[in-house]
Amino acid sequence: MNIFIFEYFCGGGDIGGIANEAMMAEGRAMLNSALADFSMIDGAEAYFNNDFEAGLKSCQSALVIAPETGGILQRLTGIVCDSGKENMGAAPSAIEITGDKLLFAKLMEKEGIAHPRTCFIDGQFEQSKEFGGKWISKPQRGAGAVGIVLWNERSVFDCKSANGKNIAQEFIEGDPMSLSIVSSGSESLILSVNKQYFTPGLKYIGGEITDNKPSDDMQTLVNQIKGAIPGLNGYWGIDYVESRSGPVVIEVNPRFTSSYWALSKALDSNPAEMIVAAYKNEKLYRDLDRRAKKFSVIGELSLA
């Protein structure tokens, strides 16, 4: 099995100079881990080429690691699918839904899944007309916590001073968490439940893969989201806040997340093997042992 793994920033990509250095370090950590994990699989050959088109020509299957920002992940995945190569990640249709935070919010409302109140920012946005407390502004299409700003209840957002389209979301009090997931066309497996660490200004700085066994309620939530977005295959993640009233889904990441690179240290099984099993629509191994591991966003591991 010949697998081309392409990481956007390591391949020379950028997103207009915004947080490129940090996102390149994060991307490099995910790429190195993916190459190591997939290369351990019998019969698999995993490689990286910073020339996307050249790398794609010589592979059987491709795995794209890229941000949703500006439609980058969707565009590159579309090229993989159009080339006739086998896509080991989410379908372009799933990336379209999850990459547009306003569209995703409407889907969560339709499905009855807890999600922050969300609205499009048009002109001068007055929080008092929408929310009763702190709120967040973020790009409608973004990734990696880039462009996220926390506002107090009396703030006024001037759309003219912002770059691109933005949305406003109510701020949810609670513990920021995430799930690392692998899905085939018929089932989903939660690899780990993770804590997320942010600065007071909501800059993401790392997290912790916990040793918690996923609850039945979490599995039900994953199945519900997967059912609403059928093309959400391969490795993906859910960001949520564990609030007093229960989990509130913030967003879905239809791609590798920063927690991936620490998974091989935290699990007793190779996560890449489960991604390949999902791709082949084989039964997913569920009896996982997990060890708590803290990690930074740039690929540094510390003991939990």
Whether 213 and 242 share a structural domain? yes
Of the candidates 33, 16, 18, the one whose C-alpha atom is nearest the C-alpha of residue 298 is 33
Asked, for residue 210, whether it belongs to a domain, the answer is yes
- pLDDT for residue 144 is more than 80: no
CA distance 74 to 66: 9
- pLDDT for residue 204 is more than 90: no
Whether 63 and 119 share a structural domain? no
Pair of tokens at residue 3: 């697998």
- pLDDT for residue 72 is more than 50: yes
Domain coverage including residue 126? 115-170
* Burial state string for 250-279 with b = 16 or more CB within 10 A and e = fewer than 16: bbbbbbbbbbbbbbbebbeebbbbbbbbbb
Whether 186 and 267 share a structural domain? yes
Q: What are phi and psi of 146, to 5 degrees?
A: -75, 130
Look up the pTM and report it: 0.92
Asked, for residue 28, whether it belongs to a domain, the answer is yes
Task: Select from 89, 107, 141 the last residue of a domain.
Answer: 89
CA distance 96 to 87: 16
Asked, for residue 96, whether it belongs to a domain, the answer is no
Whether 36 and 131 share a structural domain? no
pLDDT of residue 292: 95
Residue 270 sits in a domain whose CATH number is 3.30.470.20
Whether 230 and 193 share a structural domain? yes
Q: Any residues with CB less than 8 A from the CB of 299 and at least 6 apart, and which?
A: 25, 26, 28, 29, 32, 33, 261
For the stretch 31-69, pLDDT in tens is: 999 999 999 999 999 999 999 999 999 999 999 999 998
Compare 39 and 160 and report the one with higher pLDDT: 39
Mean pLDDT, residues 193-215 taken together: 93
pLDDT of residue 304: 46
pLDDT of residue 157: 61
Whether 255 and 270 share a structural domain? yes
Number of domains in the chain: 3
Residues in the chain: 304
Q: Considering only 146-155, 242-251, 278-287, which range has the smallest mean pLDDT?
A: 146-155
For the stretch 211-255, pLDDT in tens is: 999 999 999 999 999 999 999 999 999 999 999 999 999 999 999
pLDDT of residue 303: 45
Q: Considering only 19-23, 40-44, 276-280, which range has the smallest mean pLDDT?
A: 19-23
Cα-only R_g, the chain:
19
